[in-house]
Each structure stands twice: as C-alpha cells, then as structure tokens.
Amino acid sequence: MRLVLNRELIVHTAVEVVEREGPGGLSMRAVGLELGVTAMAMYRHVPSKDALIEGMAEYVMAALEVSEDEPDDWKAGARELVRAFRAVAHEYPRSLALVLESGTSIPVGLRAIERGLALCDRAGVQGSAAVHVVRSLMAFTLGSQLREAGFTRVLRAQDGDPAEKVRALSPARYPHVVALPDELVDNPPDTDFEFGVELFLSSVEEMGGRTG
C-alpha cells in the first residue's frame, strides 16, 4: 500500500522519534527514515526543522485539556491547569521538553498561559511576577515527570533491595539519608506531585497576600 504523506503524519512520526530517541535524535532525515521516504519528499509538507517543531508544539499542546469555565476558586483552577499540563508531560515528556526549549509553544499554548496568568491575577500576583509563576509551574510539572521517569529507570536497573544499599551507607557521612532508606527509595509520583503543587500554591498565596 502506497504511503500517503502529509503534515499530520510527519508531525506524529516526529513525536514518536523524539519520545524514543530524545530531542537529539530529531532531524528531517531521521523522520524520513522512519517513514521510508527521503527528507526532500517531506519538505513539500514541512519546509524546515523549525516548522516541524512548530507542528509538534501544536500536536502536543492540543492534548492539554482545560475547562473553558472560570473556576470559583483560583487554587482549584490552578490545580486543574497543572494536572492537565502534567497529563501532557506524562504522555509526551521529551517532545514537550523540546517544544518548551524551542519557544515555539508560545502561540499554540496561549490558552493555557492566559488561564495561568488570569489565575495569578486572582491570587493577587501581577506583572512579571505572574509570568515567573507560570513559567515555574511549567518547569516544576515537566521536571517532576522527567524525574519520575528517570528515577523509575534507576530503580529497575538496581540489583537487590535499593533500601538495603542505603542502609549500608556510612551513617557518619550520610546521617539523614541513612535515617530514611525506605522513604527515599519509595517513588509515589502522585503523592510527590500533589505535595509539590500544594507547596507551590502556598507560596503563590503568600506572594499575593490573599486567599480563595
């Protein structure tokens, strides 16, 4: 069956390549090899690598599901937004990292950014501080997802009980680490994430000087 090449297929394949190989593995040639076509054949649909990343930004950010209704409470709205962003980060961690690094996510992510800035305004945080809050929230969410994935890989590669290896460390050199072996090797991603979100929102609340 003859392959019908189009922009959507090329972008979807690029996302698959990045999720498998990482951002460094993305090139027009790599995507072409995945599809079994030449890079030149793709240029009719995607004229450059920058255009390809822009398409990936649209693809990834389209998965962000946020209610159109304004929440009654800014904290509830912030929780909804950050959880939606986390779902995207969970589905496309490497592609999202590439998109955010490239800066092409700004046009396609405006709805989420507008929601974040509006929530900051309701929390009493405006101007450049609000921009820093939204950026920090995105960095925390993506970083927690990447940490979760990396920590899980590390634990899977361990032989034996990782907690026992922690207990075997020198208590004179690592007194606090040795005191919490089970807690440190436990990896409850949802619990860690929600703890971080509440810590983050408490800081925003203190910054804005208002509640609710």
Give the mean pLDDT of the chain. Answer: 85
Are 148 and 105 in the same domain?
Answer: yes
Look at residue 108 and tell me whether its pLDDT is greater than 60.
no
DSSP 111-170: HHHHHHHHHHHHTT--HHHHHHHHHHHHHHHHHHHHHHHHHHHHHHH--S-HHHHHHTS-
Exposure string of 141-164, with b = 16+ CB inside 10 Å and e = fewer, is bbebbeebeeeeeeeeeeeeebee
Are 129 and 166 in the same domain?
Answer: yes
Asked if residue 113 is part of any domain, the answer here is yes
Residues 74 and 56: their CA atoms lie apart, in Å, by: 30
Q: pLDDT (tens digit, 9 = 90+) per residue, 118-149? A: 999 999 999 999 999 998 988 888 788 777 76
Asked if residue 63 is part of any domain, the answer here is no
What number of CA atoms fall less than 13 Å from residue 45's CA on the CB side?
A: 18
Are 102 and 157 in the same domain?
Answer: yes
Are 152 and 193 in the same domain?
Answer: yes
Q: Please state, in angstroms and as integers, the Cα–Cα distance from residue 24 to each residue in 57, 95, 109, 212, following that order.
A: 16, 11, 23, 43
Asked if residue 126 is part of any domain, the answer here is yes
- Domain around 153: 74-208
Are 99 and 199 in the same domain?
Answer: yes
Residues 191 and 74: their CA atoms lie apart, in Å, by: 21
Q: What is the CATH number of the domain that holds 90?
A: 1.10.357.10
Look at residue 106 and tell me whether its pLDDT is greater than 70.
no
**pLDDT level of residue 107 (50, 70, 90 thresholds):** low
Look at residue 60 and tell me whether its pLDDT is greater than 60.
yes
Are 87 and 156 in the same domain?
Answer: yes
Asked if residue 62 is part of any domain, the answer here is no
Total domains in the fold of the chain: 2
**pLDDT level of residue 65 (50, 70, 90 thresholds):** confident
Are 159 and 200 in the same domain?
Answer: yes
- The answer to whether 116 touches 201, Cβ cutoff 8 Å, is no
Q: What is the CATH number of the domain that holds 33?
A: 1.10.10.60
